[in-house]
Every structure is written in structure tokens, then in C-alpha cells.
Structure 1
Amino acid sequence: MNMQQYLKDHLSLYIFVSVLFIMGIIFGALMVNALSLEQKQDMSNYLDSFFKTMDEETDLSSRQLLQETFGLHLKWMLLIWVLGLSVIGLPFILILDFLKGVLIGFTTGYIVGELSWDGILFTLVSIAPQNLIIIPVIIIASVSGVSFSIYLIKNRLLQKRGNISKPFMTFSFLILSLIGVLFVISMYETYLTPVIMKWITPMLLSV
């Protein structure tokens, strides 16, 4: 199956998952307005503490940071893979996409709401770049997982027995390839993002 045919067959899934992701981002951003004054104060103190830590920290363990960053991405991708291998995993993949969108929307919405234009600058240089790759990777993995799960439903529940070894290998190879992409992104988050954040942090400490 060539790429054009693949996109044609899965276009509706890509649109659905993308819209679901965007809805999650919007919902996460709106959640910021639902925070109580006390919660906003606690988060403001945490954010201020975070910026001061970034500004003062000079002996970060890059290896440990890489392990933690890549480990988080790896767990997310493996979870999508495992859920895609089961018939009942389909809705949970979609829930994960929505929750990921909520997390991104809430984080971005809070920082921008708290720091205004400085927050927009911080988001653009330290959060947006990697997420421009991470979000499409998650969407591609999710569509692949949903597609394989639907294939299993057709073959197991609708009595259309077919060979699942080739779709399984295709799905697994795709997930493995995307994990490789996320490893490169993890390298960026480990070695470049902290440098950018340290550069911009002094501008935010007075906020």
C-alpha cells in the first residue's frame, strides 16, 4: 500500500483524532479559568520556584534528564501499542489523545495567563518546538493503533478471519520508528531546551 492510498483510507481517522486532540487542548486551556484563587497562588509559587531553580542550577545530569524525558515518551508510545493490540483498547487510545491535549492546553494556557506576553515567548521557545513533532507523532501512532484495533474487531467479532501477522508487523514497526523519532526529540529536550530556558528565565524572574 502506497502512502497516497494509506492517507485516503485513514483520512477520516486522522481528522477525528486531530479534532479530538484540539478539543483536549481547548478544554485544558479553559480549565485554567476554573482554578480557585488558592490553586492559582500555589501554582504561581511553583512556577516562580521552577524559574529560580532553572536560573540557579548548574550541575544538571543530562543522562538522567534524557532517561526521564525519553522514558515518559516511551511509556506513552508503548501504552498506545498495547491498547492497539486489544479489541477493547480502541476507546482508551482516544481517551489518551484527549488527555494529552488537555495537558498541553492547560500547561500552555496557565503559563500564558500567568506571564502574559512573557508567557507567550516562553511557550514559543521552550514548549512549542518539540510539541510540533510530538503531537503529530502521537496522532500517527494513535491512528495506527485505532486502525489495527478495528482490524482485529473485523477479524474476531465479524468472523472475517484473515492473516493478522502482516498488519501486526506494520503496526509494530511504525511504533518502533516513531519511538526513534521521540528519542531524537528527547535529545533536543535534554540538551537544547534547558539552554533556551536558562537564557529566557532571567527575563521572567521579575514577573
Structure 2
Amino acid sequence: MRNFRHMIKEQTPLYIFVAVLFLVGVVFGALIVSALTMDQQQELTDYLGNFFVTVDQHGLPAAPESFWSIAGLHLKWIGLIWILGLSVIGLPGILILDFLKGVLIGFTVGCLVSQYSWHGLLFALVSVAPHNMVVIPVLLVCSAAAIAFSLLMIRSRVVARRPLSVGRPFAMYTLLSFIMALLILGVSSFETWVTPTMMRWVTPALVQSAPDVNGR
């Protein structure tokens, strides 16, 4: 536990860096929404309208298959970050993934707000925000650890006159990634069985407001 606290303290600047990079991605994703053409906005409106009607009438399936699909998607992000952290050339890939995650969330929330105003914001608060309050910190922690290990590999192979020992840092890095993966499994359970119910609470308001938003 002491080693983990020491590692987290050392990596604090990296946490700040990846958090800022993620936030820049969120802003960029939100700006993309305003750059969509009228046809693209109409297609997006139709897709969201059909989705909300389906959720309102039938709900979303909450089954073990859905759980493993959701968990698998999150675990792929963690696994890819872990793999990129093992290589000297993987550092840019980690930064791209953090920025891309921010873009995806910014675009999703931006679409909902632009099409449905405060109803869309309410839907984002129950569908996007809850699980991402855990998923995003997990990914940022994994990213900071991956960047730190990648920098250690660079110092060991390029800068240092003789190879540095990476056995213990590798074990700590892998253990941290494993712990984060366990947290992802827990939040995936919430996303599978709780989030669909919360989404169905607010979809009636979205379905009712859709004609006004579409101008029909």
C-alpha cells in the first residue's frame, strides 16, 4: 500500500497532464457537434428519436450478455493502454486514446444537449455521467501509470548508460492495471442493470419533446 501511495504521489503531474488532455478532448468533441451539416444533424435527430422511442417502449436488455459486452469494451481500453505502456513507441498512442475518449464523451453529451436542450442534459446525467465518474478516473490512472512506465523504458534503453531494473516497476504497473480492471467490472454491473432503468425514467420527456426539436 505504501508503494502504491508513493507511486501515485510521483505520478501526480502525469495525472494532471492526462486529465487536461481528456478535458481538451471533451471540448473538441462538443465543438464537433456545432460543425455538423443540417443533413447530418437531421440524421442524428432521427436516430436519437428512434432510440428514445425504443427505450421508452421496450427498455434496454439487462442480461449477462450485455454485461460482458459493456465490460469487454472498457477492458479493451485498459488492455490497450497497458500494452502501449510496455513499449517505447507506445507513448503517443496513450495520449491519443485519452484525447479520443474525451472527444467521444464531449460529442455524445453535445449531441444530446444540442438536440434536446435540458432534457438532453438530464438524459446525459443518468446515462453517461454515472458510470463514467468511475470509468474516466480509472482510464486516467491507467494512462498515467502507462506513461510513467513507458518513460522508464525510454530512460532504461536510451538515456541510461546501463539498463535499469524494470522488474519491480513492471509488477507494480501490472498490479495497478489489474486492480483498475476489477473496478471496471464493478461499474459495468451498474451500467448493465441500473443505468437502463434510469434511462427509462427520463425517455418519456425526450419522446414528448422530440417533435418540437425536429420542428415537426
Tell me the TM-score normalised to structure 1 length.
Answer: 0.95
Q: Offset at 1:56?
A: 2.2
Q: Distance in 2 between matches of 1:58 and 1:15?
A: 39
Q: 2:163 aligns with which of 148, 161, 164?
A: 161
State the partner residue of 2:38. 37
C-alpha contact 2:62 2:192 (8 A) present in aligned 1: no
State the partner residue of 2:90. 89
Describe the shift of the 1:100–1:16 C-alpha distance in structure 2 as closer, same or farther (beyond 3 A).
Answer: same
C-alpha contact 2:62 2:196 (8 A) present in aligned 1: no
Tell me the TM-score normalised to structure 2 length.
Answer: 0.91
Q: Offset at 1:3?
A: 5.2
Describe the shift of the 1:114–1:58 C-alpha distance in structure 2 as closer, same or farther (beyond 3 A).
Answer: closer
Q: Distance in 1 between matches of 2:42 and 2:179?
A: 42
Describe the shift of the 1:127–1:61 C-alpha distance in structure 2 as closer, same or farther (beyond 3 A).
Answer: closer
Q: Offset at 1:132?
A: 1.0
State the partner residue of 1:182. 184
Counterpart residue type for residue 196 of structure 1: M
Q: How does 1:7-156 map to 2 (within 5 A)?
A: 7-57=8-58, 60-156=61-157
Q: Distance in 2 between matches of 1:74 and 1:135?
A: 12
Q: Distance in 1 between matches of 2:148 and 2:124?
A: 33
Q: Offset at 1:5?
A: 3.7
Q: Distance in 2 between matches of 1:58 and 1:45?
A: 18
Q: Deviations over 1:22-58 (max 9, x none)?
A: 0000000010000000000001111011111112225
Q: Distance in 2 between matches of 1:78 and 1:185?
A: 17
Q: Distance in 1 between matches of 2:45 and 2:164?
A: 56
CA RMSD of aligned residues (A): 1.4
Q: Distance in 1 between matches of 2:164 and 2:176?
A: 21
Describe the shift of the 1:2–1:165 C-alpha distance in structure 2 as closer, same or farther (beyond 3 A).
Answer: closer
Counterpart residue type for residue 133 of structure 1: V
State the partner residue of 2:198. 196
Identity %: 45
Q: Distance in 1 between matches of 2:5 and 2:83?
A: 27
Q: Distance in 2 between matches of 1:81 and 1:7?
A: 17
Describe the shift of the 1:102–1:46 C-alpha distance in structure 2 as closer, same or farther (beyond 3 A).
Answer: same
Comparing 75-84 with 151-160, greater Cα deviation is found at 151-160
Q: Offset at 1:204?
A: 1.0
State the partner residue of 1:173. 175
Counterpart residue type for residue 73 of structure 1: H
Q: Distance in 2 between matches of 1:180 and 1:4?
A: 19
Counterpart residue type for residue 181 of structure 2: I
Comparing 118-127 with 104-113, greater Cα deviation is found at 118-127
Alignment length, in residue pairs? 207
Q: Deviations over 1:138-168 (max 9, x none)?
A: 1000000000000000111123412211111
